[in-house]
Amino acid sequence: MAPVSERLRWLFLAWVISMCITTTQCVDRSNFKTCNQSAFCKRQRSVTPGNSPYRALLDTLELNENSMKLQLLNKVNKVPLLLEVSGLEGNMVRLRINELKPLKPRYEVPDVLVKEPRTVPLAVVSRDEGSVEVSLSSPDHRLVLTADPFRLDVLAGRELLLSVNSRGLLVFEHLRQRKDTFTAKVSSAVGSMWDTIRNVFSSASKKEESSEEGEEKADDIEPTAEQTDDKPEDGEAEKVKEEEEEENEEGMWEETFKTHTDSKPNGPTSISLDFSLPGVENVYGIPEHADSLKLKTTDSGDPYRLFNLDVFQYELHNPMALYGAVPLLLAHTPRRTLGIFWLNAAETWVDISSNTAGKTVLGKVLDYVQGSSEEPQTDVRWISESGIIDAFVLLGPKPTDIFHQYASLTGTQAFPPLFSLAYHQCRWNYNDEEDVRSVDSGFDLHDIPCDVIWLDIEHTDGKRYFTWDPNKFPSPRDMLRGLQAKKRKMVTIVDPHIKVDSDYKIHKEVRSHGYYTKTKDGSDYEGWCWPGTAGYPDFTDPEMRSWWASMFSYDQYEGSMENLYIWNDMNEPSVFNGPEVTMHKDAVHKGGWENRDLHNLYGFYVQMATAEGQVHRSGGTERPFVLTRAFFAGSQRYGAVWTGDNAAEWDHLRISIPMCLSLGLAGISFAGADVGGFFKSPDASLLVRWFQTGAYQPFFRSHAHLDTPRREPWLFGDENTRLIREAVRQRYALLPFWYTLFYQAYRTGEPVMRPLWVEYPADVSAFAIDDEYMLGGALLVHPVTEEGATGVTAYLPGKGEVWYDIHTYQKHIAPQNLYIPVTMSSVRKQSFYKRPLCS
């Protein structure tokens, strides 16, 4: 591979105006929980860092060709856990913690990993009474496990890369039988009585010992390890008492939020684990949040939340949950990039705090580590409501290595059909077939390229998906043939909530097969959504997914043709009358699992089944196109994602850049934001700037709310039509480039749209930049993101590298901050490319 200085690069400055932060907040925050309102998050966050109650029992260690296993004992409640550590091919480590003997199985996430990761042999390098050192396949990488308190350190040579449980925040709430209030009180009283008896005998014993001083040493026998384990260790008795008192703490067995009560038949089941990253100041990922690319510390506010929700016109610069969740965090320094993949589909909170490495480097690790004890450190704590701890540490060391490692686990971006990389025109809703023909003709009349026209929920017969309104869309195949004659496609919406109607074929079949999600009492789960009362198919059931896929065949989806593709919306799932506008956590899925265990997988499965339906309808020859709003790790295998219900405001335009960048870092390259903003009405300058930005984001679709004025590209005057036409044509001129980038993403897992630091990992100046980005390794884009801008300042990275204006070929030497005057019509004069210097 040629060095950076010999690779061709391009710099394009797309003119999109920057945001000024608005004070308007349309989301009703009271509908969504804070950490303090989420019982398990509040409970976990009340645990203060310090010595962990967990001790690794080194005498239980078993080492085989696949993993190292040993028990962890909670010194307070005596509940044993099973720790399993594996080295994986590709320079990764997997860490799994589960109860040794749970009352019943705990949920383990299926279907996200593309295959069971291949392990590498581990070998014990040294061992003493308090620790064990294990080498990975690379002799340079080692694991040091310290027994008491339990911690695990990952080293490369003498460099400490990452520590697990160094802050003592491992918490694993074990499954238990509920004690009623009376039983709990009796237990507490008995416990107090035994405390009194124990103290009496202890005092007597001490007096007896002092009176027998000088007698034979044989009388002073140390208790065995087994005997010691039968009672709390010194200083732990009070903790036992506190745990017994907390057994019926509010929120452990039942929780109420607003008018909704969540029964918790399994009681408290949350888990938590902390990771310390010495030398790290910059962390990224864990989408989806409407926030900066570089993640912020959360000490003074809520943690970042991962819980798929339908959030109406979301608030910006906030860690609250949005539509999708990918529990992948990347840490970057000039020397190395690391990743942590937390494979858990329950509601999850991620705390991020700054620290200094000297405060957590203790014990035997001090014998190995070089460097200043005052170097910066980032601490990351994952908190999930249920399931097991299943964490992957991706050791890089380069950014591209992280992408390859994560792709080896969850798959790469699906290679999209070429048309889907072109321009899409959407609105809630195009009224009827005549309206579709008019919009279709409008693009021809105004000479603006367009490949796809979309239909929202109003095209159906009363919000019954897989149908057409018989009055407004009586001849869907004729409409589709008209588009097909111009090589255009159509996308229709198919949401996962099914109208409860005894005459509706889809509902009848789902109900007759027993495919609906159930309530805790065993009846079909129902909620309100667009059709009114609706049922929610259980997409976690493979049989249900197979049936759903069959509904996309041409003989089942009446009026469909080969140029019709699908959009899955509202698949968090959205339940208008549900807690936090989503499904109740105690709803029951296939296998008896609660929605709380797998909530973030629902949208993943909806898109999976829909994509498989498109493949099956073509006999396996068709590459599908499916857009989804909800997603999880692995969703990249099934199609595209958009950033949801944004607004026609400059700040929403601005935030679309870090949101798409974060998705790309987490494996989802095919992502974009609604051009023009879904809510509200953009003025001409905002709409033009948004087209100029959207043309350089992976998924390029304009979309608008039902209540907004029409905003087809030719409705804002001749000059603005010309500017929009030019922006769209630039997208089409680069389609071969886009197609190549997506093929590379499909093959390697490397993001199409990527932060500058991915290409320039040692350039500290690039680490926090999220208003410009690279497309592949060749094109740098700096959208104009300020209303009324007369100029922009673009950072050109790469010491000694040469960047050229893509239209004028003017040369610029990097690194530098380049000020460029701009006007609304100056876009063609402000593009740049880069090619190798002559020797």
For the annotated catalytic residues, the residue numbers are 569, 645
Q: Determine the residue type at 691.
A: F
Return the ∠ at Cα 826 (arms to 823 and 831), rounded to 5°: 130
Q: How many CB atoms within 10 Å of residue 407?
A: 22
Query: Which residues have a Cβ under 8 Å from the Cβ of 64 and sit 6 or more positions away?
Result: none
DSSP symbol at 101: S
Whether residue 74 contacts residue 82, with contact meaning beta carbons closer than 8 Å, is answered with no
Task: Report the SS3 class of residue 366.
Answer: helix
Q: Report the relative pairing of strands 254-257 and 260-263 from DSSP bridges.
A: antiparallel
Cα–Cα distance for residue pair 489/785, rounded to 1 Å: 32
What letters, b where the CB count within 10 A reaches 16 and e where it falls short, cover 760-794? bbebeebbebbbbbbbbbbbbbbbbbbbebeebeb
Which residues, including other chains, have CB under 8 Å from residue 198's CB and lie 6 or more apart? none
Structure-block tokens of residue 97:
């913690």
Under DSSP, the state recorded for 808 is T
**Residues 388, 106 contacting (CB under 8 angstroms):** yes
**Do 20 and 787 form a contact (C-beta atoms < 8 A)?**
yes
Q: How far, in whole angstroms, is CA 24 from its chain's centroid?
A: 27
Residues near 799 by beta carbon (within 8 Å), at least 6 away in sequence: 814, 815
Helix, strand, coil percentages in the chain from 3-state DSSP, rounded to 5: 30, 25, 45
Distance between CA 470 and CA 476 in Å, rounded?
10
Angle at the Cα of 504 from the Cα atoms of 502 and 506, rounded to 5 degrees: 115
Q: Which helix (H) or strand (E) holds 755?
A: none
For the chain, what is the radius of gyration of the CA atoms?
29
- Round to whole Å and give the CA distance between 340 and 338: 7
Q: Closest Cα to residue 29, out of 313, 233, 231?
A: 313
DSSP state of 250: T
Q: What's the residue count for the chain?
A: 839
Cα–Cα distance between 588 and 103 in angstroms, integer?
19
φ, ψ of residue 547 to 5 degrees: the values are: -65, -45
β-partners of residue 93 are 87, 393
Measured distance CA(362)–CA(93) in Å, rounded: 22
Within 10 angstroms of residue 813's Cβ, the number of other Cβ atoms is: 14
φ/ψ (deg, to 5) at 476? -60, -35
Quote the crossing angle between the two packed helices 718-733 and 735-748, to the nearest 10°: 50
φ, ψ at 423 (rounded to 5°): -90, 140
CA dist., res. 275 & res. 689, Å (int):
41
Could you give the residue ranges of the DSSP H alpha helices within 118-236?
A: 181-211, 225-229
